[in-house]
Amino acid sequence: MNQLITFCKNWTLPLAIGVGTVCYSTFCLVPQLDAAGNALLSVFSTLFPFLVFLSLLVTFCKVDFRQMRPQRWHLGVLAAQLLLVAANVAVILWVKSSVNNQLSIVNYQLLFEAVLACTIAPTAAAAPVVAAKLGGNLSTITSYTLISSLAAAGLIPVVFPLLEPAANVTFLAALLIILQKVSLVLLLPLLLGWLMQRYAKNICQRLEAAPNLGFYIWAFTLSIMTGITLRNIHRSEAGVLLLAGIAVATFVISFVQFGIGRLVGHWLGERVNSGQAMFQKNTALSIWVSYMYLHPVASVGAGCYVLWQNIINSLELWYHNKTKAH
């Protein structure tokens, strides 16, 4: 029994992905469950942002707000992300101008646009949850999450219309929508966490007594996200080869971003936080901007990225726990 509990603790995120996969597959393969599946989809879609909010609130109750100031590694990770985005945009523009076959243009462009959606996105709001579990500095990665969100809010409305001039969303409108989406799941729990530290210290102390609570709430959220992701992939209009190419490309870019983040952190003295900040992305925002600016198929890349980044997180947590045990 103890071994089973230890196994579940070490592999919480893959188990969460597995639960989401099994649940979606069950409702997908059994026609009699269609009505129940549609009803549950509505419930889980509503529940999802609330769970993200709750996991962050629990985490932010432990943030040392005095440490939330810009760091050297913030600048390094942000610069690396901007260079990666610039390279990705250059490749897409080259593909559009150089490939002769129209079908090839569409396929290659969608492939690289799916990758772009995963590189231009801000750091995930849940990154501090995982970073804290890995022994990172909760306060400094929280401050970078805010910086990254503001940078993405300004960058996305500038970059995507260059690729799809037909997009009819103005810069200001897109900026305000992105800021609204970010504030609901990031700024609001951060503000409440600060208020609770000042005026509800007893509650914060109780939450500190359960250090993994935010992580397990996030794992449950991941199960829901996995099911929704698989549904989007299953109902995508793309062909099998294009879907496979997007899955492979996002798998590669997840490791590339993780490696770059770790390398920047190695140079600037914050490996854990830099790695998480660079590669753990706000995929919900990626999916939205793909639909808004690019093509629904490009959103499949962000869906695949959810799975890859959490597999990497699981390996990180396993290695961290193994090292700590020794």
d(CA 113, CA 161): 12
d(CA 192, CA 206): 16
DSSP secondary structure, 281-308, as one string: B-HHHHHHHHHHHS-GGGHHHHHHHHHH
Per-residue pLDDT of the chain (326 residues; tens, 9 = 90+): 666 767 777 778 888 888 888 888 888 888 777 788 778 878 887 888 888 888 888 888 888 888 888 899 999 999 999 999 999 999 888 887 776 555 455 577 888 888 998 999 889 878 888 888 888 888 899 899 989 988 888 888 888 777 766 555 666 777 777 777 777 777 888 889 889 988 888 888 887 777 778 888 888 888 888 887 788 777 777 778 888 888 999 999 999 999 999 999 999 888 999 999 999 998 877 877 777 777 777 788 888 898 899 888 888 888 888 877 66
DSSP secondary structure, 44-84, as one string: HHHHHHHHHHHHHHHHHTT--GGG-S--HHHHHHHHHHHHH
- pTM, entire model: 0.84
> What 3-state class would DSSP assign to 316?
helix
φ/ψ (deg, to 5) at 281 = -110, 155
d(CA 79, CA 176): 24
d(CA 202, CA 109): 54
